[in-house]
A and B are shown apart, each in its own frame.
Chain A
Amino acid sequence: MGHLGDGALRRLIDEPLAMSDSERFHYQHCEHCQARRREYEAQAESAGQLLAVGPAEVDTQAALRAVTARSAHPASAPVRLFARSASSLNAFRRPILIAAALLALTSVAVTAGPAVLTTTIFEPKAPVTAVTVNPPAGETQGAIAGLPDLSAYGDMTVIKKAQTQTGVTPDEAASTTGLKVLTPPAQYATGAVTYTTVTASEGSFTFSKAKAIAAAQAAGKPAPVFPDGIDGSTIDVTAGPALVEVFGTVDKNSTLSNLPLILAQSKAPVVKSTGVSYEQLEAFLVAQPGIAGNPSLVAAIHAIGAPLAAGQIAIPVPADRATSKDETGNGVPGVLISENTGLASALVWQKGDIVYAAGGHFDESQLLAIYKSIG
């Protein structure tokens, strides 16, 4: 037989019993192969020294508790504005996350041009709107479960990490965020108020075709599709600060029928890009394996992307779970979203560069009264 291959010789160092009898016979009588093995062994020893790290002793039980809690309450996971929602297609489990990703990936090119180095490609300029998403959330989720991980399509950098603080005073909340603390009518604010602040955050993502292809190969996934102009382009997203006021208790015992008033406000996100256009980004997203062959998912992406193209923040509403209503006729620059059982609703609106939401176990007339008081 010929000389042993590199792989067989390398494995001989770690797992000598894996060698076949014929390979072993050759090796024992071949000085050339023995010399190569010594060379590889020296390389392996060097790599082992370079990669040496301290022991990683863990408290598995405590870690299990932490992971169980995070799985049950995803909101308690560390705030990763862009990293989780836009860079990982696995995170597209809910239509609302599709919108978050679209804000980053397929927003409108308002003034984009190929010669422009940095272009604002999304900045809200029109009232918030709602988009009914079909198929329902469950089907969408099932269809996307096997999609590639977009975080492997480039490099994510958190430029400014959001810091979350709960239990601050109203004054601290206002000074930390620069936002005005909202005071609703007393009859709707029945519980003790908890203020939570989130500081402004910024992240950027640079697409890398080489990395995406390597990652897809490593994961045994179909090769990604990179239309011209995407490789090397960078998208930068800024969001926040934000302030959330909860007028009562929200915990594991909370249901739609006892949900207290929750007021939230946030500076709207702004997306900039290094010259890549809306058309290129949307083509990129819908061309990916797992999306291109799924007409309903492509349709959902286009449905959410259309208002973004008009400079509107789009709130996806799963057709089987909730309904939406344009409230501009009632003087509110936004929409009402009502859960199908009628137990909970939320009013979402935008003024200037701030997006507001008021929600809980309330009906339309109550939320309009709250809006008139604080809006």
Chain B
Amino acid sequence: MQAINASPRTGVGSREDFERLFREEYPRVVGIANRVLADRQAAEDVAQEVFVDFNRLHRADAPYAGPWLHAAAAHRALNAIRSRLRRAKREAAYPLPAPADPAEEVERAEERRLVRAALARMPGRGATVLALRYSGLSYSEVASALGVGVNQVGTLLRRAEAQLRREVERGTSR
């Protein structure tokens, strides 16, 4: 049994390179996932899975390391909320910071639920571009993560912002 699992790793690179990459990118990767999930602990889980996968498959000094990690964090977090939405019972369980006012707490919980549901429904790259840009990535970094020209980012972002508003309103009117 041991022998079957003993295949070499493709992501071999120096440990120092990986640790440097991790320190540079981990907070940002968590930030991207948290922007989608609104759940810091779940965002850390997603970020760690992303780094584990990257470490297995790629060299830490690869020039595409940052863009790969950013895109993977957004995609994985979006997949997570899409899966969550299939389970109605869990849908309301997004943890939130506890405000002092219970009425405000209910209102904020509902708004976050609607936004997560709207992100999950958005087709194509819309939700991804929102997650990346609103996590603080520059237009150039968003372009690298999405594999598009930097001049396309503004167009994608504007459409996604309009679409997010429409989807949230659609969810509210249901």
Contact = CB atoms under 8 A, between A and B. Distances in A.
A15 B45 CA distance: 32
A218 B56 contact: no
Interface in A1-56: 5-11, 14-15, 18, 40, 43-44, 46-48, 50-51, 53-54, 56
Given A8-B154, A90-B57, A155 B82 contact: yes
A258 to B, nearest CB: 11
Contacts of B75: 149, 152, 215, 218-219
Contacts of A217: 124-125
Contacts of A88: 53
A186 interface: no
A66 interface: yes
Contact of B48 (A66, A145, A344): A66
> Residue among A88, A215, A256 with the most chain B CB within 10 A?
A215
A336 B131 CA distance: 50
Contacts of B164: 47, 50-51
Nearest to A51: B134
A145 B134 CA distance: 31
Nearest to A78: B45
A156 interface: yes
Contact of A44 (B27, B49, B161): B161
A157 B7 contact: no
A71 B49 CA distance: 10
A7 B97 contact: no
A346 B1 CA distance: 6
A322 B165 contact: no
Given A218-B125, A339-B3, A70 B48 contact: yes
Interface string B42-83: 011101110111011100000000000001000110010011
A220 interface: yes
B79 A155 contact: yes
Which of A10, A53, A259 has most chain B Cβ within 10 Å?
A53
Contacts, number: 192
A344 B123 CA distance: 50
B138 to A, nearest CB: 7
A140 B51 CA distance: 22
A126 interface: no
Interface residues of A, number: 76
A138 to B, nearest CB: 5
Contact of B35 (A53, A145, A155, A316): A53
Given A47-B165, A60-B27, A218-B128, A157 B158 contact: no
B153 A11 contact: yes
B56 A71 contact: yes
Given A8-B154, A145-B10, A155-B82, A67 B52 contact: yes
A47 B31 contact: no
A134 to B, nearest CB: 14
Contacts of B155: 5-7, 10
A158 interface: yes
Interface stretch (A91-99, A108-116, A175-183, A290-298): A91-99
A318 interface: yes
B7 A15 contact: no
A359 B164 CA distance: 54
Given A46-B161, A56-B34, A337 B1 contact: yes
A6 B158 contact: yes
A129 B12 CA distance: 33
Contact of A218 (B57, B82, B147, B168): B147
Nearest to A91: B53
Nearest to B160: A47
Contact of A259 (B2, B23, B49, B154): B2
A51 B75 CA distance: 16
A218 B71 contact: yes
Given A155-B82, A339-B2, A7 B7 contact: no
Contacts of A93: 7, 9-10, 56-57
Contact of A51 (B22, B55, B56, B115): B115
A50 B4 contact: no
Contact of A256 (B2, B51, B52, B147): B2
Given A137-B8, A138-B8, 9 more contacts: A7-B157, A11-B139, A14-B139, A93-B9, A141-B7, A214-B125, A218-B146, A316-B4, A346-B1
Per CB-CB distance, the 4 closest pairs between chain A and chain B, nearest first, are A7-B154, A220-B147, A339-B3, A7-B155
8 contacts: A6-B159, A77-B49, A93-B57, A96-B4, A142-B10, A156-B79, A215-B75, A337-B3
